[in-house]
Each structure stands twice: as structure tokens, then as C-alpha cells.
Amino acid sequence: MKLPSLTIKGHTLTAPIVQGGMGIGVSLHPLARAVAEEGGAGIISSAGLDRLLSKRNGRKYDAYEAAYEEASLAKDRGGVTGINIMVALVRDYVDSVKGALDAGVDLIISGAGLPMSLPSIAQIKDTALVPIVSSARALKIIIKRWERQKYRPDAVVLEGPLAGGHLGFGLEEIDKEENRLETLLPPVKEMAQQHGDIPVIVAGGIYTHEDIVRFLKLGADGVQMGTRFLATEESTATEPYKQAVLRATQEDIVIAVRPASPCGFPFRVLRESPMYVEAQQGLREPKCDKGYVLLKDEEGKFTKCPAKLKENAREYFCICNGLLSSADYNADKEKPLYTVGTNAHRIDRIMSVHELMSELKASA
């Protein structure tokens, strides 16, 4: 089956494939450019961008400057490009949104929490705003809140429990039949149709052309895929990260519970991730010198994170340092943390984005 196009707020994908925004340092402009050139939506991740660009260019960046520059680089060869900005990164969220908007990015995709105030952060022109949800109820909440800001979602990503990284489900909910992506889609699609026929993009566990076709026939307008793009030549994941994916068996892919992400969401990782192993054994002395997931204390200062406390050494891994190390930032000082989707064990080689997109479009 030839895949249809997908248009989101005037931005047309010739194939309805959105590359997942994988942070930290996996989804940067080389990957996003390559996907956009193949007719999909290429997405960068805002997570940790300030430090990654500071190291790359030898000068200090803040969150605004980093989002602006990387988004500009991603879009300079045309096609549809966007940025994934996590709500959980409270400290840098607003500045990342402003930088991306000023760069004229085509899409802002936002999850890891509900992006309640996204339309009000700055003036929205041609950029499409796309929340990530895990249920029809979450979409309804966002629609109602955004209506007060005189805005409607331009599309929505419905993420099921088979995705990589942070999951929008409690641990006890992940394996329930009612939370399968196939089950979640119909009520979300109905809700989207009731509010202006918002395009629905499904994510989590989608691997082949046949998977894409199946979900399109179930009513999805497009798909989002992360792990398959992780294992491409253009992905900026480190070589050890990619090789860990190639080695992975199904049993190697786990949902981190103890130790866990300090963000409070279940988190899917490779069991062999060095920081995950180190935290399990209580070997890492708590250190918080990056602070992307810090929350405000009683004085309104960003100081709070459960991974900072020594008594929590076996309970939480330091997601900031772990993911930065997996992007080869301070890898000599910190152990890396490898996050993947549930189908990572099926990957057996590294391919180019052109090869992958041809396979997914069934044009090979």
C-alpha cells in the first residue's frame, strides 16, 4: 500500500511518518534534516541542547539560543521539521518554546506531562502545536484548557505503553488490555473528530510498513517512530549506544522501577545501561550538577530532585547525567543511560535514513 500524505497546519508530509524526538543528543539536526528530506517530519529534542551545543561550538548557550540554533539548522534544507520539548523539563521549557518559535519551526511536540499553557507562551504563527497524550481523557483536558487560550491542537500524538523513555502510564497499567494502542485509538480519534477533526498520530511499538498500514486502517492519520531512527547512520547516538541496541534481546529491555526516573514516570531502558546498573548497586554518589528536571522549592528556586539525596542512591538514577553521557557529554566522568522502545531487540543493523524511509514507505 502506498502511504498517504499528512498535512498539519499547512505543513505537508509526503509520508505520514514523524520521527520521534529522542533526547538527550540522539535527535539533533543531522537526523531531523535527513528525515525531512525523505518526506517525513524530522524532529530534534530540546533536552540538554544548551550543553550539547556549548560543547560542539566552544561557547556557552542558554536554552533559548540552543533551541533556536538547532531548529534553524534542522530546517535549512526544507521539508517538515519540528522539536520535542518535555513539560517535565520545567526550568527550560518556556525558553525552549520561545527559541523554537522564533526559529520558525514547523511543529512543536510536547509531552512528559500535559502542556497546558503551551499556546500562551508566545505568539503562534505558522508553527503547529502538537501535544502528546495517552488517553482520550487527557486530550479532552488539553482541548478544554487550550480553548480558554483561544487555540486548538493542530494534531495530537497518542503514545501507547510500548514506547521508549518516559511512559504516560502507571506501572500496573502498562500491560492492561485497555491500554493497548489499538484500544486507545478509537476514543481518542472520536474526541479529535468532535473538535475539528484533529489529526491523530500514534506512537509506541510501530516497527514496519505493515504496522503503519494497520494503524492507518484503524483510523490513525500518521505514526511516530523513535527507536528505528535511533539505529540510523544519521542518528547522533554514540557508537556504544547503537551497539548496545544491536546486542539487545527482548529480555534486555526493561521498565525501570528501582532505580527509577526522578521524573516519576515509568521509564523504558536497556538493562545493561551502565548508569542503571550502577544505581541498582548503589555505587554512584548522588550528584546534581545539570538540573534539567529540578522542581521549585518553597522559596521558588529550582533545587528539588529525589535523585540528589544520598538515601535515594538505589531508588533513582540521575537521568540528566546518564542521558548526557549517552550523548558523549562527560562520558569520562558519568556512566551512560540507554533508553529504547519495546522493539529494539528486532534491530539487527545500522542503516541510513534513506534506506529506512524507503523500507517504511515500501518503496524499496
Q: Are residues 61 and 184 in the same domain?
A: yes
60 C-beta neighbours (distance < 10 Å), count: 10
Q: Are residues 82 and 128 in the same domain?
A: yes
Asked whether residue 204 is domain-assigned, the answer is yes
Q: Are residues 222 and 256 in the same domain?
A: no
Q: Which cell numbers hold the place of 364? A: 524499496
- Kindly report the CA angle at 10 between 9 and 15, in degrees rounded to 5? 100
User: Each residue's pLDDT tens digit in the chain (364 positions)?
Assistant: 899 999 999 999 999 999 999 988 899 999 999 999 999 999 999 999 999 999 999 999 999 999 999 999 999 999 999 999 999 888 899 999 999 999 999 999 999 889 999 999 999 999 999 999 999 999 999 999 999 999 999 999 999 988 888 887 777 777 788 889 999 999 999 999 999 999 999 999 999 999 999 999 999 999 999 999 999 999 999 999 999 999 999 999 999 888 888 888 888 999 999 999 998 888 888 788 888 888 888 888 888 888 888 888 888 889 889 999 988 888 778 899 999 999 999 999 999 999 999 999 986 4
Q: Are residues 286 and 222 in the same domain?
A: no
Q: For residues 229 and 343, is the Cβ–Cβ distance under 8 A?
A: no
| Omega cis (within 30) before 24 | yes
Which pLDDT belongs to residue 242?
95
Asked whether residue 333 is domain-assigned, the answer is no
Q: Which cell numbers hold the place of 153? A: 491542537
Structural domain that includes position 252? 239-326
- Kindly report the CA angle at 320 between 317 and 324, in degrees rounded to 5? 115
- Give me the count of residues in the chain: 364
CA gap 261, 66 in Å, rounded: 25
Asked whether residue 341 is domain-assigned, the answer is no
Q: Are residues 178 and 309 in the same domain?
A: no
Asked whether residue 336 is domain-assigned, the answer is no
DSSP 219-285: T-SEEEE-HHHHTBSS--S-HHHHHHHHH--GGGEEEE-SSB-TTSS-EEEETT-HHHHHHHTT-SP
Which pLDDT belongs to residue 174?
76
Asked whether residue 339 is domain-assigned, the answer is no
Q: Are residues 99 and 158 in the same domain?
A: yes
Q: Are residues 37 and 78 in the same domain?
A: yes
Helix ranges (DSSP H) in the chain: 29-37, 49-57, 63-75, 90-102, 136-148, 181-194, 209-217, 227-230, 239-247, 274-280, 319-326, 353-360
- Count the domains in the chain: 2
Q: For residues 46 and 86, is the Cβ–Cβ distance under 8 A?
A: yes
Nearest to 347 by CA among 267, 252, 256: 252
CA gap 292, 50 in Å, rounded: 11
Asked whether residue 334 is domain-assigned, the answer is no
Q: Are residues 229 and 317 in the same domain?
A: no
Q: Are residues 95 and 28 in the same domain?
A: yes
CA gap 66, 215 in Å, rounded: 35
Q: Cell numbers 535511533 label which residue?
A: 230
Q: Are residues 103 and 37 in the same domain?
A: yes
Which pLDDT belongs to residue 363?
61
Q: What is the pTM of this model?
A: 0.94
Question: Could you tell me the CATH number of the domain that includes residue 29?
Answer: 3.20.20.70
List Cβ neighbours of 239 (8 Å cut-off, separation of 6 or more). Answer: none
Q: Are residues 265 and 205 in the same domain?
A: no
CA gap 192, 208 in Å, rounded: 25
Q: Are residues 179 and 263 in the same domain?
A: no
Asked whether residue 81 is domain-assigned, the answer is yes
3-state secondary structure of 88: coil
Which pLDDT belongs to residue 257?
84
Which pLDDT belongs to residue 187?
97
Asked whether residue 340 is domain-assigned, the answer is no
